[in-house]
Amino acid sequence: MDVREAAPAVVTGGSRGIGRAVVERLAAYGAPVVFGYATERARAEEVVEAVRAAGGSAWAVRADLAEPDGVDRLFAGADEHLGGRLGVLVNNAAVTGRTAFADASAEEFDRVLAVNARAALLAMQHAERRMAGGGRIVNISSVSTAWPAADEALYAASKGALEQLSRVASRALGPRGITVNTVSPGTTDTDLLRDAVPAEAREAVAGMTPLGRLGRPEDVAAVVAYLAGPDAAWVTGQNIRADGGLV
Protein backbone atom coordinates (compact mmCIF):
# COMPACT_ATOMS: atom_id res chain seq x y z
CA MET A 1 0.00 0.00 0.00
CA ASP A 2 1.59 3.27 -1.13
CA VAL A 3 -0.65 5.71 0.68
CA ARG A 4 -0.26 5.74 4.43
CA GLU A 5 -2.29 2.65 5.43
CA ALA A 6 -5.09 3.84 3.10
CA ALA A 7 -5.78 6.60 5.62
CA PRO A 8 -8.92 8.71 5.13
CA ALA A 9 -8.10 11.78 3.07
CA VAL A 10 -9.46 15.26 2.43
CA VAL A 11 -8.57 17.06 -0.80
CA THR A 12 -9.56 20.66 -1.45
CA GLY A 13 -10.43 21.56 -5.02
CA GLY A 14 -10.84 18.00 -6.22
CA SER A 15 -13.31 18.30 -9.09
CA ARG A 16 -10.86 18.95 -11.94
CA GLY A 17 -7.25 19.03 -13.06
CA ILE A 18 -4.57 18.22 -10.52
CA GLY A 19 -7.11 17.91 -7.71
CA ARG A 20 -9.09 15.27 -9.57
CA ALA A 21 -5.92 13.32 -10.35
CA VAL A 22 -4.98 13.39 -6.66
CA VAL A 23 -8.43 12.19 -5.58
CA GLU A 24 -8.31 9.33 -8.08
CA ARG A 25 -4.76 8.33 -7.13
CA LEU A 26 -5.43 8.25 -3.39
CA ALA A 27 -8.71 6.39 -3.90
CA ALA A 28 -6.99 3.86 -6.15
CA TYR A 29 -4.70 3.01 -3.24
CA GLY A 30 -7.72 2.31 -1.05
CA ALA A 31 -8.05 5.62 0.77
CA PRO A 32 -11.61 6.89 1.35
CA VAL A 33 -11.51 10.45 0.01
CA VAL A 34 -13.67 13.50 0.66
CA PHE A 35 -13.00 16.38 -1.69
CA GLY A 36 -14.32 19.91 -1.88
CA TYR A 37 -15.58 21.92 -4.82
CA ALA A 38 -16.89 25.48 -5.09
CA THR A 39 -19.40 25.57 -7.95
CA GLU A 40 -18.96 22.75 -10.46
CA ARG A 41 -21.34 20.16 -9.06
CA ALA A 42 -21.58 18.18 -12.30
CA ARG A 43 -17.81 17.82 -12.50
CA ALA A 44 -17.66 16.79 -8.85
CA GLU A 45 -20.30 14.12 -9.39
CA GLU A 46 -18.32 12.82 -12.37
CA VAL A 47 -15.28 12.35 -10.14
CA VAL A 48 -17.31 10.51 -7.51
CA GLU A 49 -18.80 8.21 -10.15
CA ALA A 50 -15.41 7.53 -11.73
CA VAL A 51 -13.83 6.66 -8.40
CA ARG A 52 -16.67 4.37 -7.40
CA ALA A 53 -16.70 2.70 -10.81
CA ALA A 54 -13.04 1.85 -10.21
CA GLY A 55 -13.85 0.32 -6.83
CA GLY A 56 -12.87 3.25 -4.63
CA SER A 57 -14.68 5.49 -2.17
CA ALA A 58 -15.16 9.23 -2.66
CA TRP A 59 -17.60 11.92 -1.62
CA ALA A 60 -17.92 15.51 -2.81
CA VAL A 61 -18.72 18.41 -0.48
CA ARG A 62 -19.64 21.86 -1.74
CA ALA A 63 -17.53 24.44 0.06
CA ASP A 64 -16.50 27.80 -1.35
CA LEU A 65 -13.19 28.46 0.40
CA ALA A 66 -13.41 32.17 -0.36
CA GLU A 67 -16.23 32.33 2.18
CA PRO A 68 -15.32 32.67 5.88
CA ASP A 69 -17.02 29.39 6.84
CA GLY A 70 -16.03 27.44 3.72
CA VAL A 71 -13.37 25.33 5.43
CA ASP A 72 -15.71 24.60 8.36
CA ARG A 73 -18.35 23.34 5.91
CA LEU A 74 -15.84 21.14 4.13
CA PHE A 75 -14.70 19.44 7.32
CA ALA A 76 -18.24 19.08 8.62
CA GLY A 77 -18.97 17.11 5.47
CA ALA A 78 -15.75 15.16 5.83
CA ASP A 79 -16.62 14.21 9.40
CA GLU A 80 -19.99 12.94 8.23
CA HIS A 81 -18.41 10.60 5.70
CA LEU A 82 -15.15 9.73 7.45
CA GLY A 83 -16.34 9.56 11.04
CA GLY A 84 -13.97 12.27 12.23
CA ARG A 85 -10.90 10.30 11.16
CA LEU A 86 -8.21 11.77 8.95
CA GLY A 87 -4.77 10.69 7.83
CA VAL A 88 -4.07 12.81 4.74
CA LEU A 89 -4.86 16.41 3.81
CA VAL A 90 -4.08 17.82 0.39
CA ASN A 91 -4.60 21.58 0.01
CA ASN A 92 -5.05 21.96 -3.73
CA ALA A 93 -7.86 24.52 -4.19
CA ALA A 94 -6.68 27.78 -5.71
CA VAL A 95 -7.71 30.74 -7.82
CA THR A 96 -5.30 32.31 -10.27
CA GLY A 97 -6.04 36.01 -9.81
CA ARG A 98 -4.20 36.95 -12.98
CA THR A 99 -4.33 40.71 -13.42
CA ALA A 100 -1.98 43.47 -14.49
CA PHE A 101 0.20 44.62 -11.61
CA ALA A 102 -1.14 48.18 -11.81
CA ASP A 103 -4.73 46.92 -11.72
CA ALA A 104 -4.48 44.65 -8.68
CA SER A 105 -7.11 45.72 -6.15
CA ALA A 106 -7.45 45.27 -2.42
CA GLU A 107 -10.62 43.23 -2.96
CA GLU A 108 -8.93 40.87 -5.40
CA PHE A 109 -5.92 40.54 -3.09
CA ASP A 110 -8.21 39.51 -0.26
CA ARG A 111 -10.04 36.97 -2.43
CA VAL A 112 -6.91 35.30 -3.78
CA LEU A 113 -5.19 35.16 -0.40
CA ALA A 114 -8.38 33.84 1.21
CA VAL A 115 -8.58 30.82 -1.07
CA ASN A 116 -4.90 30.12 -1.67
CA ALA A 117 -3.45 30.78 1.79
CA ARG A 118 -6.05 31.43 4.50
CA ALA A 119 -8.12 28.36 3.64
CA ALA A 120 -5.02 26.17 3.68
CA LEU A 121 -4.07 27.43 7.14
CA LEU A 122 -7.55 26.74 8.50
CA ALA A 123 -7.64 23.32 6.84
CA MET A 124 -4.31 22.39 8.44
CA GLN A 125 -5.70 23.40 11.84
CA HIS A 126 -8.75 21.22 11.26
CA ALA A 127 -6.53 18.35 10.09
CA GLU A 128 -4.28 18.50 13.14
CA ARG A 129 -7.28 18.04 15.43
CA ARG A 130 -8.35 14.93 13.52
CA MET A 131 -4.98 13.26 12.92
CA ALA A 132 -4.07 10.69 15.53
CA GLY A 133 -0.68 8.99 15.59
CA GLY A 134 0.80 11.00 12.75
CA GLY A 135 -0.52 12.19 9.43
CA ARG A 136 0.42 13.69 6.10
CA ILE A 137 -0.28 17.21 4.85
CA VAL A 138 0.61 18.16 1.29
CA ASN A 139 0.12 21.71 0.02
CA ILE A 140 0.06 22.47 -3.70
CA SER A 141 2.01 25.61 -4.59
CA SER A 142 3.45 26.62 -7.98
CA VAL A 143 6.73 27.37 -9.69
CA SER A 144 5.29 30.88 -10.01
CA THR A 145 6.91 31.65 -6.66
CA ALA A 146 10.29 31.19 -8.36
CA TRP A 147 9.41 32.25 -11.90
CA PRO A 148 6.37 34.56 -11.82
CA ALA A 149 4.78 36.13 -14.87
CA ALA A 150 4.12 39.88 -14.93
CA ASP A 151 0.42 39.39 -14.24
CA GLU A 152 0.84 36.94 -11.34
CA ALA A 153 1.53 39.30 -8.45
CA LEU A 154 -1.45 38.14 -6.39
CA TYR A 155 -1.15 34.47 -7.31
CA ALA A 156 2.59 34.33 -6.66
CA ALA A 157 2.20 36.21 -3.38
CA SER A 158 -0.51 33.83 -2.20
CA LYS A 159 1.54 30.77 -3.10
CA GLY A 160 4.59 32.26 -1.41
CA ALA A 161 2.49 32.64 1.73
CA LEU A 162 1.38 29.02 1.40
CA GLU A 163 4.97 27.81 1.14
CA GLN A 164 5.95 29.65 4.32
CA LEU A 165 2.87 28.34 6.13
CA SER A 166 3.98 24.84 5.13
CA ARG A 167 7.47 25.33 6.51
CA VAL A 168 6.18 26.68 9.81
CA ALA A 169 3.54 23.95 10.06
CA SER A 170 6.18 21.26 9.53
CA ARG A 171 7.93 22.52 12.66
CA ALA A 172 4.76 23.06 14.66
CA LEU A 173 3.20 19.68 13.84
CA GLY A 174 6.35 17.58 13.64
CA PRO A 175 6.30 16.67 17.35
CA ARG A 176 2.94 14.97 16.72
CA GLY A 177 4.39 12.90 13.89
CA ILE A 178 2.61 14.93 11.19
CA THR A 179 4.64 15.70 8.08
CA VAL A 180 3.94 18.84 6.05
CA ASN A 181 5.33 19.26 2.55
CA THR A 182 4.75 21.36 -0.54
CA VAL A 183 4.56 20.31 -4.18
CA SER A 184 5.14 23.05 -6.76
CA PRO A 185 3.91 22.01 -10.20
CA GLY A 186 5.18 23.60 -13.36
CA THR A 187 2.92 24.35 -16.31
CA THR A 188 0.44 21.49 -16.26
CA ASP A 189 -1.80 20.47 -19.13
CA THR A 190 -5.31 20.90 -17.73
CA ASP A 191 -8.52 22.20 -19.26
CA LEU A 192 -8.06 25.36 -17.19
CA LEU A 193 -4.65 25.94 -18.78
CA ARG A 194 -6.02 25.28 -22.26
CA ASP A 195 -8.80 27.79 -21.69
CA ALA A 196 -6.42 30.49 -20.45
CA VAL A 197 -3.22 30.00 -22.47
CA PRO A 198 -2.99 29.90 -26.29
CA ALA A 199 -1.59 26.78 -27.92
CA GLU A 200 1.56 28.55 -29.14
CA ALA A 201 2.35 29.72 -25.60
CA ARG A 202 1.86 26.20 -24.23
CA GLU A 203 4.17 24.84 -26.92
CA ALA A 204 6.78 27.46 -26.05
CA VAL A 205 6.80 26.43 -22.39
CA ALA A 206 7.03 22.76 -23.35
CA GLY A 207 10.03 23.63 -25.50
CA MET A 208 11.76 25.32 -22.55
CA THR A 209 11.21 22.29 -20.31
CA PRO A 210 14.18 19.87 -20.25
CA LEU A 211 11.82 16.87 -20.46
CA GLY A 212 10.24 18.38 -23.55
CA ARG A 213 6.56 18.51 -22.62
CA LEU A 214 4.02 20.06 -20.30
CA GLY A 215 3.24 18.38 -17.04
CA ARG A 216 0.19 16.17 -16.67
CA PRO A 217 -2.09 16.11 -13.62
CA GLU A 218 -1.02 12.51 -13.04
CA ASP A 219 2.63 13.60 -12.77
CA VAL A 220 1.78 15.84 -9.84
CA ALA A 221 -0.57 13.31 -8.25
CA ALA A 222 2.24 10.76 -8.21
CA VAL A 223 4.44 13.09 -6.15
CA VAL A 224 1.55 13.82 -3.78
CA ALA A 225 0.93 10.10 -3.33
CA TYR A 226 4.60 9.57 -2.45
CA LEU A 227 4.48 12.30 0.19
CA ALA A 228 1.24 10.82 1.56
CA GLY A 229 2.78 7.36 1.85
CA PRO A 230 5.02 5.47 4.28
CA ASP A 231 8.19 5.94 2.22
CA ALA A 232 8.06 9.69 2.95
CA ALA A 233 7.94 9.31 6.73
CA TRP A 234 11.28 11.13 7.10
CA VAL A 235 10.44 13.91 4.63
CA THR A 236 8.94 17.10 5.99
CA GLY A 237 9.27 20.84 5.47
CA GLN A 238 10.24 20.29 1.82
CA ASN A 239 9.12 21.93 -1.42
CA ILE A 240 9.31 19.52 -4.34
CA ARG A 241 9.15 21.12 -7.79
CA ALA A 242 7.29 18.76 -10.10
CA ASP A 243 8.02 20.81 -13.21
CA GLY A 244 10.05 18.64 -15.57
CA GLY A 245 13.09 20.77 -14.82
CA LEU A 246 11.53 24.02 -15.99
CA VAL A 247 12.84 26.13 -13.09
How many helices (H) and strands (E) are present in the chain, helices listed first?
A: 9, 7
Q: Identify each DSSP E strand in the chain by its residue range.
A: 9-12, 33-37, 58-62, 88-91, 135-140, 178-185, 239-242
Burial of 89 (0-12, 13-18, 19+ CB in 10 A): buried
The answer to whether 134 touches 89, Cβ cutoff 8 Å, is no
The answer to whether 219 touches 22, Cβ cutoff 8 Å, is no
Catalytic residue among 29, 37, 155, 226: 155
Distance CA 220, CA 185 (A): 7
Please indicate whether residue 226 is annotated as part of the active site: no
User: Pairing state of beta strands 58-62 and 88-91?
Assistant: unpaired
Please give the span between the terminal C-alpha atoms of the chain, in angstroms, as a whole number: 32
Distance CA 196, CA 83 (A): 39
Active-site amino acid positions: 155
